[in-house]
Structure 1
Amino acid sequence: MSKIAFTTEIIVILCITAGFNSVANAQTASPIFGDMTIQHPFSPDPLTVRGMSGGSIPGSKIAGKAETAPTGPCKGFVDETPDHTLKLTSKFDYLKLVVQSPADTTMIVKGPGGTWCNDDFDGKNPGIVGEWLPGTYQIWIGSYQENESLPYTLKITEVK
């Protein structure tokens, strides 16, 4: 083997190894998939972030109750730490958070003024709509089976 071919082979191996290390490091990263800070009005609308639902902790334990009125039941299993943190720097007279997933998911939101849970807002996708105060909101996306991870997109919009 020539010196050039050998050097090229080492570079390829190093690049592949570096790629594997990046993937391994990504899996050990914080379970918060995206922190967002927005004010009224915001752009682009809708704002979307992605994640993987689920965990081992019952949603009712995170919420501290079995149901929140009028938004719904605190079902499913979630991680101990929230999947997303949403900071609102101004009041929103109307804001909608909706999860889009190929499977049945749940949502818990904790923030100024309380805790809200939802299941099946739009088909089998959870969502929460209403007036939102300025402050920081923690968002958990749950799965119905313990430790089941499902891909989802969280859509945040001011459009009714």
Structure 2
Amino acid sequence: MLRKTSISAAVSAIVMIAASGTAQAQDWRLTPSYGSVSLSSGYTPDPYLVNLQSGGSIDASRSIGGNCRGYVANAPDYRLQYRAGTVLPLIISVSSSADTTLVVNGPDGRWYCDDDGGQGLNPSLRWNTPMSGQYDIYVGTYGTASYRNATLSISELNSY
């Protein structure tokens, strides 16, 4: 009986160690901090703009990996429900005086990230053939966990 108890305790300890070593990650299921919108291809006005603050306490390069950068929040900053058409692209970008980053969980469940793909140090992501569905958008601050004023742009015409 002692052996069975020891094995059970060892397994429990391993599970607890593994769980405590897990990096905190973004949870797209949480309520977005700055709201949400439903848009269909051809919407007006274009661009659709949202004022928010970039940043958070989670390092996206550790929690998501790949080419994701910047410090972001756990909950999405903004949620877009998008109905794609057949002609126009979807462009999500950020404008800020700070060095910002962009992390988007797309309708396909994949993470899309950009650092300086827009104007200056601003990020921009473009889908030439966008998917219909939910886009959970995180606006990060590069290099520090500070919060900075930023404008999120959702457009089918231009990067902001």
TM-score, normalised via structure 2 length: 0.71
Rg larger in 1 or in 2? 1
- In the alignment, what sits opposite 1:124? 121
The aligned amino acid for 2:136 is Q
What letter is aligned with 2:152? L
1:90: which partner in 2?
84
Tell me which residue corresponds to 1:34. Answer: 35
Give the whole-Å Cα distance in 1 for the aligned partners of 2:145 and 2:112.
Answer: 22
When the two chains are superposed, the root-mean-square deviation of aligned CA atoms in Å is 1.7
Question: Distance between the aligned counterparts of 1:133 and 1:96, measured in 2?
Answer: 12
Which structure 1 residue ranges, 5 or more long, are not aligned? 1-29, 68-73
Q: How does 1:11-160 map to 2 (within 5 A)?
A: 32-62=33-63, 64-67=64-67, 74-91=68-85, 93-113=88-108, 114-121=110-117, 122-130=119-127, 131-160=129-158
* Residues 32, 79 of structure 2: 8 Å contact kept: no
Letter in 2 for 1:150: R
Separation in structure 1 between the aligned mates of residue 97 and residue 84 of structure 2, nearest angstrom: 33
Output the CA distance in 2 between the equivalents of 1:52 and 1:61: 21
- Alpha-carbon distance between aligned partners in 2 of 1:34 and 1:148, rounded to the nearest angstrom: 21
TM-score relative to the length of structure 1: 0.71
- Matched residue count: 124
Cα distance, 1:137 vs. partner? Answer: 0.8
Q: State the alpha-carbon separation in 2 of the partners of residues 89 and 144 from structure 1.
A: 31
Q: Distance in 2 between matches of 1:146 and 1:102?
A: 15
Distance 1:139 1:61, change over 3 A: farther
CA distance in 2, matches of 1:125, 1:82: 18
CA deviation map 1:1-47 (0-9, x unaligned): xxxxxxxxxxxxxxxxxxxxxxxxxxxxx762131110011011111
Bigger fraction of residues in helix: 1
Question: Could you say what secondary structure the match of 2:140 adopts?
Answer: strand
Query: Could you say which structure has the higher strand fraction?
Result: 1
Q: 1 CA distance for matches of 2:138 and 2:115?
A: 12
Aligned identity (percent) is 35
| Counterpart Cα distance in 1 of 2:35 and 2:74 | 16
Q: Distance in 2 between matches of 1:31 and 1:88?
A: 16
The DSSP-based 3-state class of the residue aligned with 2:89 is strand
Cα distance in 2 for partners of 1:65, 1:97 equals 20
Mind listing any 5+ residue stretches in structure 2 that lack a counterpart?
A: 1-30
